[in-house]
């Protein structure tokens, strides 16, 4: 473990020769925007070979100390790496995280794992549930756990196998588990949804839990995923009878004429931008009856006063720098939204000089106006200030607020770019204030890895690393120390709490 403060590694890295960097960018753009999960299967993504030139560049950067060595852990002085728990019985890709009391719930393409985090320095595995179905986006509410399935399966059981989406009998959607006994979760319900469930977001109420299901990429050849797919599925789950869970609506968020609805048309009209055929992820702020949707080629702000009938307030596009609107985070006052751009679908090296600071980044938007007249106004981009090797998949990904009253600070995953803590209190001048990362998994190929989700919960940062497992970090900084006094009983990051209500 190496502690860095003012060394060359903390400054912006200039890796590679201009010709190689330009070639990488050209290839990325020519390929067009990838989906958020380039490989829709259940297994780990296959390594992508790189040229000998790129391999030599990565090796030279390590030798020069410009980037960490393979698997070497480095971090800023205000972050301590407490522990890492490697993957165990679930070898697939690690995905999202949720929290409840003393437990952390970690999604994996092969199922999910429950950790007892009573002692954050020594988490203990409570249960591992085998239930394949990418990407197993995960949330919890009370005694219920929800799991997204976004790969075509032979049936809705946890023993299902891969089956083509062109077959009518194939299944994708939401699974519901009873977790009243954390050591023995019980599968209690399944709800099929159009185009599956890539991600989902909870809108919890006392008697029911509403689930907003985000999915995309319809095809005329898919019986259960027909175009236009311009909305989201809304599932209603009775807490006392989860087996009665059912779809209660499909609100159209992008009305329009023609087979593709009214979202961003993508290329060739907007080259290098995803066509909007649904949403990738939604974050709700129930205390303000607001939601923000990251919807492929569009970012939207909408009202959820009536959770079964959400209403779009504003819709924005960035056809210059945003390829794939991936996720959204409100600040505490609900007068800003941070949207992420998952350029390259999470499988490409975009944290380099060739791609630059404005693509594969965060976009910070102020919310101005009142009520249904509110508008999203772009202010700036944020991207980690450390170039990565061209063998490291790196792009903006999942993060959460760090609850500091009067400040806008969040922690965020960047795949092999690691974990970044950054301040966007000044929307136009965001800045990084801490980081944690590992060196490249490989210098001879792009091997998918790094932090999928990095979230702050009850005084610690928890990161689910695709390849390396479950990391726990301790952040000690006068700017964020007040957050240690904030305690939550439950946290699903895409259902943002009002920390200071």
Q: What angle do CA 378, 355, 315 make, to 5 degrees?
A: 25
**Mean pLDDT value across the chain:** 92
pLDDT digits (tens, 9 = 90+) for 290-339: 999 999 999 999 999 999 999 999 999 999 999 999 999 999 999 999 99
Band of residue 456 on the pLDDT scale cut at 50, 70, 90? very high
416's torsion region: left (phi>0), alpha (psi -120 to 50) or beta? alpha
Q: pTM of the entire structure?
A: 0.93
pLDDT digits (tens, 9 = 90+) for 71-118: 999 999 999 999 999 999 999 999 999 999 999 999 999 999 999 999
Listed in sequence order, the residues at least 6 apart from 412 whose beta carbon sits closer than 8 Å to its beta carbon are 340, 362, 396, 397, 398, 399, 400, 419, 420, 421, 422, 454
Mean pLDDT of 35-48: 50
pLDDT of residue 171: 98
- Token pair, residue 274, equals 């995803």
Residue 156 has pLDDT above 50, yes or no: yes
pLDDT digits (tens, 9 = 90+) for 274-290: 999 999 999 999 999 99
Percent of the chain past pLDDT 70, that is, above it, reads 91
Domains located in the chain, CATH noted: 2-491 (2.130.10.10)
Residue 261 has pLDDT above 90, yes or no: no
Residue 16 has pLDDT above 90, yes or no: no
CB-CB neighbours of 31 under 10 Å: 12
Strand locations in 157-272, DSSP E? 171-178, 186-192, 199-204, 208-214, 233-238, 246-249
Residue owning tokens 């989201």: 232
Residue 481 has pLDDT above 90, yes or no: yes
pLDDT of residue 501: 83
- Token pair, residue 289, equals 């009856």
- Sheet containing 246-249: give its strands across: 199-204, 208-214, 233-238, 246-249
pLDDT of residue 44: 53
pLDDT of residue 248: 98
Residue owning tokens 């920390």: 499
pLDDT digits (tens, 9 = 90+) for 426-447: 999 999 999 999 999 999 999 9
Residue 486 has pLDDT above 70, yes or no: yes
Full 3-state SS string of 436-452: EEECCCCCCEECCCCEE
> Phi/psi at 53 (nearest 5 deg)?
-65, -45
Band of residue 256 on the pLDDT scale cut at 50, 70, 90? confident
Mean pLDDT of 340-356: 96
Residue owning tokens 């002085």: 77
């Amino acid at each position: 473990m190496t502690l860095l403060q003012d060394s060359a590694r903390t400054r912006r890295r200039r890796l590679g020769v201009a010709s190689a960097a330009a070639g990488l960018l050209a290839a990325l753009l020519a390929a067009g925007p990838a989906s958020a999960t380039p490989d829709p299967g259940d297994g780990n993504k296959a390594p992508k070979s790189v040229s000998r030139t790129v391999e030599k560049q990565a090796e030279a950067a390590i030798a020069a100390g410009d980037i960490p060595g393979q698997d070497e852990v480095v971090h800023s002085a205000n972050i301590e790496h407490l522990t890492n728990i490697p993957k165990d019985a679930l070898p697939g890709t690690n995905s999202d995280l949720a929290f409840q009391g003393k437990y952390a719930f970690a999604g994996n393409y092969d199922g999910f794992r429950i950790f007892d985090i009573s002692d954050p320095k020594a988490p203990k595995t409570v249960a591992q549930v085998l239930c394949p179905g990418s990407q197993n986006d995960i949330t919890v509410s009370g005694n219920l756990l929800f799991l997204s399935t976004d790969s075509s399966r032979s049936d809705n059981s946890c023993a299902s196998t891969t089956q083509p989406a062109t077959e009518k009998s194939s299944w994708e959607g939401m699974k519901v588990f009873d977790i009243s006994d954390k050591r023995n979760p019980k599968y209690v319900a399944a709800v099929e949804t159009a185009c599956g469930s890539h991600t989902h977001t909870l809108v919890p109420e006392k008697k029911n839990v509403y689930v907003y299901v985000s999915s995309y990429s319809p095809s005329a050849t898919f019986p259960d995923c027909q175009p236009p797919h311009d909305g989201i599925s809304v599932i209603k789950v009775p807490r006392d009878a989860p087996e009665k869970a059912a779809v209660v609506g499909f609100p159209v968020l992008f009305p329009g004429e023609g087979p593709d609805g009214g979202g961003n048309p993508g290329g060739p009209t907007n080259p290098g931008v995803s066509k909007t055929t649904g949403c990738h992820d939604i974050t709700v702020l129930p205390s303000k009856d607001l939601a923000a949707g990251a919807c492929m080629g569009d970012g939207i702000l909408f009202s959820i006063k009536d959770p079964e009938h959400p209403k779009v307030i504003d819709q924005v596009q960035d056809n210059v720098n945003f390829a794939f609107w991936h996720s959204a985070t409100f600040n505490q006052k609900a007068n800003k939204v941070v949207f992420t751009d998952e350029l390259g679908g999470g499988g490409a090296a975009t944290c380099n000089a060739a791609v630059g600071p404005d693509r594969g980044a965060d976009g910070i938007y102020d919310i101005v106006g009142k009520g249904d007249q509110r508008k999203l106004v772009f202010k700036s981009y944020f991207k980690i200030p450390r170039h990565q090797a061209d063998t490291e998949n790196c792009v903006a990904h999942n993060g959460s607020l760090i609850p500091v009253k009067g400040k806008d600070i969040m922690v965020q995953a960047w795949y092999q770019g690691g974990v970044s803590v950054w301040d966007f209190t000044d929307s136009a001048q965001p800045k990084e204030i801490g980081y944690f990362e590992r060196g490249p998994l490989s210098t001879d190929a792009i091997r998918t890895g790094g932090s999928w989700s990095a979230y702050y919960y009850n005084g610690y940062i928890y990161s689910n690393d695709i390849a390396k497992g479950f990391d726990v970090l301790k952040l000690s900084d006068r700017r964020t120390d007040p957050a240690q006094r904030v305690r939550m009983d439950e946290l699903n990051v895409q259902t943002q709490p009002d920390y200071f209500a």
